[in-house]
A and B are shown apart, each in its own frame.
Chain A
């Protein structure tokens, strides 16, 4: 086990930021901590890393108790902070070299690692640039390079794609998968469910400091009743027809939003076909019709009654 957290409690006065949080993260996983802003993701990471004090609980990394002085453990950890944490007065190369140098003393080895990190985040053309000259996406990549240059076994990435353009975001996500493929265990926090769904092999959903669900994305989706979401762009439908639609086998709910019908069906097959037949038999005209499988947002919505991004 790379990380073992048991009954972690962290309070800020009366506010319980982490409420008996328990996690087990295995070697080789891309472990996603998903939750809305303020759900306790960053607090959990900072407690695990011994930056924050906590009220109760046990934290072990690599099978050993994590403390601020556990330098042997820290040596194999990389962290990519939520905010860009680099020095404005140092160039791209110097920033990476500085942070890498806190872990690796041998100059030749360090030089090699820094070059690899620069290549990894594709900042070769910017090595002499100061951070202020970099765009938001490039800054994020520099931030990542500073955290991973020393080739850690365990990497924490705390919302590394916040305020990043789609192109840079894709590069970052590809990079994370590459790091994982090279053997690193990743702990990834985000409130972007698509990212977590895309890269994480195991996901824990947090809300108000508590684990509300955990498992693979398939396991999480299997926990809820929703099996399919069918959207129909229709021009007109009568109230009686809506009632008939709701009474179809497998249909859980039907909502009319503007000119769209959102039909949620339970697990099963032929949901789309039965809706199509109903529309045809009742001569209800429609523009487009499409079906979506449930997302992690739907999981969160069904469990908590609110949207992930609320």
Chain B
């Protein structure tokens, strides 16, 4: 009997084009739009070497140390400048005018910086010049007062920077500003699975549909039929989420970290959470299907917003000002589980999120059972 109900519920659900659109195609489309919108976000935030030039004054005592300082920050992968030497002021001014450089230094007794406009790169060039002037002045003063200091490694000491803040990383993952958008999108897709749960309850409650009344009249245990139907819904939803994950990973190159098994487990827990949530709302609300859909839609979309799907900082704002909501928002729990899996080597935070989701599943399922188990209805 289980196989019979499972098979036909599977057919009923998979042929519901509207549901398949909202639970599979819509998240894939949204993910594609996210990708197109956010693909340059990380690049924009990455530091790019500044195109700059230097014009030497012809006085070696001023030019040599400044050129040396510039060369030291214009080498390697993490260089500060793409430095070019201009033969004269006019050439550098022409490069600046043409936008080939963001500014140019003129060495001499006083370091001069020429820029066309103010901006991030120009500020860095100013800071560099100020630091050079300050260090150079300090070296000159010390060398004048204590010439022996030059033999005692003064230049090395000035060049060294001591950092008094120790940075401890929670994990080895590369920071990525766009991942949270996709993680909350997966969470949204899982919560859209609530529509499957709603459909299952509707087709088992005799006071909701005539089809359900017919099933109730059959010699089949109502809860067994419900479990068979819900299993079919879970298989479909989990498959959809796996398709979405595959598309994100292989199609859009979204990283989930190295722990694939946990990612799949999280998707499964998320799918069960979505189903149980939909079943609970459908069992609880006795009004028409439209109201149930509206409630599920609003809860999912508001939950997604609060977990940072539309505005990344919202996740942190909620964590700071409304911490209980972090644990009450199922979309956030799911998003944060993926987040924790990616960023943290430790599984503590992940386990807390999954634990909270399992608690929700138990609560939703228990409440649904108490409502659905009713064998007779006061009205149909």
Interface residue ranges, A against B (CB under 8 Å): 12, 46, 49-53, 67-69, 71-72, 74-75, 77, 79, 81-87, 89-90, 94, 97-99, 101-103, 105, 146-147
B219 A85 Cβ-Cβ under 8 A: no
B378 / chain A contacts, CB cutoff of 8 Å: 12, 52-53
CB of B206 closer than 8 Å to a CB of A: yes
Q: Which of A83, A90, A103 contacts B11 (CB 8 A)?
A: A90
B4 / chain A contacts, CB cutoff of 8 Å: 98, 101-102, 105
Interface residue ranges, B against A (CB under 8 Å): 1, 4-5, 8, 11-13, 15-16, 206, 209-211, 213-220, 375-380
B219 A94 Cβ-Cβ under 8 A: no
Task: From A52, A84, A94, name the one whose CB has the most chain B CB atoms within 10 angstroms.
Answer: A52
Known A85-B209, A89-B12; 4 more pairs at CB < 8 Å = A81-B214, A98-B8, A102-B5, A146-B214
A101 B217 Cβ-Cβ under 8 A: no
Query: In this complex, what residue of B is CB-closest to A76?
Result: B219
A85 B218 Cβ-Cβ under 8 A: no
Query: In this complex, what residue of A is CB-closest to B14?
Result: A89
B375 A74 Cβ-Cβ under 8 A: no
Please, how many angstroms separate the alpha-carbon atoms of A46 and B214 in the complex?
A: 11
B213 A85 Cβ-Cβ under 8 A: yes
Interface of A is mostly: loop
A81 B210 Cβ-Cβ under 8 A: yes
A51 / chain B contacts, CB cutoff of 8 Å: 206, 213, 216-217, 376-377, 380
B214 A99 Cβ-Cβ under 8 A: yes
Output the least CB separation between A184 and chain B (Å).
Answer: 16
A-B contact pairs, 11 of them (CB 8 A): A50-B376, A67-B375, A68-B376, A74-B218, A74-B219, A81-B213, A81-B214, A82-B210, A84-B210, A89-B11, A90-B12
B217 A49 Cβ-Cβ under 8 A: yes
B12 / chain A contacts, CB cutoff of 8 Å: 87, 89-90
A103 B218 Cβ-Cβ under 8 A: yes
Q: Which of A72, A81, A86, A89 contacts B219 (CB 8 A)?
A: A72
Output the least CB separation between A13 and chain B (Å).
Answer: 10
The 6 closest A-B pairs by CB, nearest first: A85-B210, A68-B375, A102-B218, A71-B219, A89-B15, A53-B376
A102 B380 Cβ-Cβ under 8 A: no
B218 A99 Cβ-Cβ under 8 A: yes
A84 / chain B contacts, CB cutoff of 8 Å: 210
Output the least CB separation between A285 and chain B (Å).
Answer: 56
A90 / chain B contacts, CB cutoff of 8 Å: 8, 11-12, 15
